[in-house]
Amino acid sequence: MSSARRRGPADVLGARAARLADRLAEAPGWDARFDVLDERLAAWLAPSAARPDDLVLRAWWRLQAPAGPVGGVARDLGVSLRYLQLGFRRHIGLPPKTVARIARFQRAALLIGDPAAAVACGYADQPHFSRDVREMSGLTPTELFAFVQDGGASPE
């Protein structure tokens, strides 16, 4: 048996677990209990007021393409870099620079066989590209190329 500790509903749902248990106990039958579960889970998972604002969404999509420095994206959108960083932290959980870095790596991974991939994806030079590939994938560019060519088979 695993040494991992078992978790109860309160560990996952917090105070909501007791309220949910009370509502389930009050339900007259199984159909009503499943209706309560459907309603509660849907409410908990529904988009809320914490939905990213339009500016953060526009910045997100701008960073998915080679967009230049994050400061330039903020300037083009008419906000400060700090405002954009706070919006990304609040809505995405990562700073915009990290989002741009991940997007750049994803584009490069798709073009990994093309000798001009690094430049086309916005890397300053080959060492910059090689460093990001190692940090993001744990592989060298050559190993990543082999991995992609093999359809995801182990590089060993």
The DSSP secondary structure of 118-136, one letter per residue, reads: HHHTT-SSHHHHHHHHHHH
pLDDT score of 86: 92
Q: Is 142 helix (H, G, I), strand (E, B) or coil?
A: helix
Q: Which helix (H) or strand (E) holds 64?
A: none
Between CA 104 and CA 119 the distance in angstroms is: 11
Mean pLDDT in order along the chain per 10 residues (156 residues): 65 80 92 89 68 83 84 91 91 90 89 82 87 91 87 58
**CB 129: neighbour CB atoms within 10 A?**
21
CA 11 to chain centre: 24
pLDDT score of 152: 62
pLDDT score of 153: 58
Helix-strand-coil percent breakdown of the chain, rounded to 5?
Answer: 65, 0, 35
Q: Could you tell me the sign of the dihedral formed by the alpha carbons of 88, 90, 95, 101, in that order? A: negative
Residues 118 and 109 sit within 8 Å (Cβ to Cβ): no
Say what the pTM is: 0.61
> Whose structure tokens read 């389930």?
24
pLDDT score of 121: 85
Give the Å distances, CA to CA, from 156 to 33, 69, 108, 145, 147. 51, 36, 22, 13, 9
pLDDT score of 48: 55
CA nearest neighbour of 70 among 98, 110, 35: 98
Between CA 20 and CA 26 the distance in angstroms is: 10
